[in-house]
Every structure is written in C-alpha cells, then in structure tokens.
Amino acid sequence: MRRSVALCALSTSLLLSGCQSVNTTSGDAVGVERKQYMFSMLSTDEVNKMYAQSYQETVKEASGKGVLDTTSANAKRVHAIADRLIAQAPKLRPDSAQWQWEVNLIKSDDLNANCGPGGKIIVYSGLIDTLKLSDDEIAAVMGHEIAHALREHGREAMSKAYGVAMAKQGAGALLGLGQDSLALADTVVNYSLTLPNSRGNENEADLLGLELAARAGYNPNAAITLWEKMSQNSGDSPPEFMSTHPASATRVASLQAAIPKVMPLYQAAKK
C-alpha cells in the first residue's frame, strides 16, 4: 500500500487530478477492507470500455476459428453457473448490476479462465475437461475471477503502471494529449492487464470469490478441491492458470479459515 501511495504522490505533480482512494466493494463477510488508490483520470467506465474492445476481438477470433462453444453441455453449465454468480455480485458491489456482463466458453486445451473489467468472462474448455470440474468447482474458479473484476484489480494495476510510466516520461507526454499520450495509454493497458496479480490481490479474489460462490448456492469446500486438482496437474508444465494463480499452503490455509464465515450463506442459499 505504501508503494501505491508513493506512486500516486509522485505522479500528482504530472497530473492535475492525481489519485483518489476508493472502495470498490463493501458489505462482505470475509473482511476485505484494504483501501485502493486509483488515478482519477482513469475512470471505471474508461477501463471497462478499453477491456470490452479487447474482449470482443478475442471472441470474434474464436468464432472465426470455430472454437467459440455456445451449444455444448459445458457451455450451458458455464452460462448457468455464471448467471447465479452474477446475480449475487451486487451484494458485494451494487453498481455491477448495471455492467454489461458477457460469458463465453472457448474450445481449447488451456487450463484457464478469466473475468476482465466490466464483467467480461472467458472460460477455456480444457479447464473443465482436463480437471473434470464439478459445478461447485467451476463456480469456485469463476467466483475468483469475478472477484478480480469487482475489486477492479485491473484498473488498480493500470493506475500503478501509469504512475511509473508518467514519472519516466515526464509531463510533456500527458499535457499534450497527443499521439505520445495515446501510445502510452495503449502500452499501459496491454502491460497491466496481462500481468499476474499481486499476492494481496489474489488473496482478496480468493476470499470474495469464496463468498460469491457461497451466496450463489455453491459449496465453498470446492475451492479446496479445485486447488488440489490444479496442483496435481501442474507437473513439469504448469497450466496457464497456475502461472498467474500459484497454489500454496498459505493460500489453501486462508481459504480453509474463511469457509466457516461463508458456510451460513451457502446453507441459506440452499434452503
């Protein structure tokens, strides 16, 4: 957190409006209360629009290659699970009810899934087929990824990247708002949205995703069996999901400690 504040302070001399402290989520049962710092010039809507364009390109490319799966049993499972999770998202972030959520399954051997800013979800079939995931385990993955979007970890990473880039390039690249600025923005978007999340952000997504899945009526214990399956399939060539979401004893212990907090939500949802 100190590093984020330092970056914001450094960049305030270059930007008239600087950074602002925000609360992206609230009312959770798992105790995610960290303050986040975002550049005020980089709004939620702007980031969502940036990512939406990239997402549509990915979906269009998959469709053109014939690997966009909209009709299989797994596609129906993914959509049904997503609908239940999305319905609970406003409990943690009210304005997510107005997001333009999208869900797509892509045929691929990749063991991966993600949810970008604004609720743009992609699941790769290899994750389901190779690990033989149950609905509860799929919900654990998707809940985790949705939590990243609810907490705006992508925008947070972009804010930090802007701070570094601006400090290096100076005020001239920003005050002109010309081609140099646009190139800087493109670089920051591409760089920050493809980086692995920090350990702290991963923990937040673990906890909020656990709660989201529980609220939607999915067994929280599935988060543990999911990571067990991930670890068993890591081998010499770890799946892509593991490279950005490494499993560890600390991670599993944190999930196990949080399960009793969300179990009442799960039990209430199952009634």
The catalytic site residues sit at 145
* Pick from 151, 89, 88, 92: nearest CA to 117: 151
List the 113-116 sheet strands across, edge first.
68-69, 102-106, 120-124, 113-116
Phi then psi for residue 122, to 5 deg, are -130, 130
* Pick from 88, 83, 77, 114: nearest CA to 101: 83
Using CA atoms, how far apart are residues 67 and 183, in angstroms rounded to an integer?
Answer: 32
Note whether 141 and 126 are within 8 A (CB). Answer: no
Using CA atoms, how far apart are residues 174 and 185, in angstroms rounded to an integer?
Answer: 10
User: For tokens 């049962």, what's the residue?
Assistant: 29
Using CA atoms, how far apart are residues 192 and 157, in angstroms rounded to an integer?
Answer: 5
Burial of 67 (0-12, 13-18, 19+ CB in 10 A): middle
Note whether 114 and 175 are within 8 A (CB). Answer: no
Rg over alpha carbons for the chain, rounded to the nearest Å, is: 19
Tell me the helix, strand and coil percentages in the chain, rounded to 5.
Answer: 65, 10, 30
Note whether 174 and 162 are within 8 A (CB). Answer: no
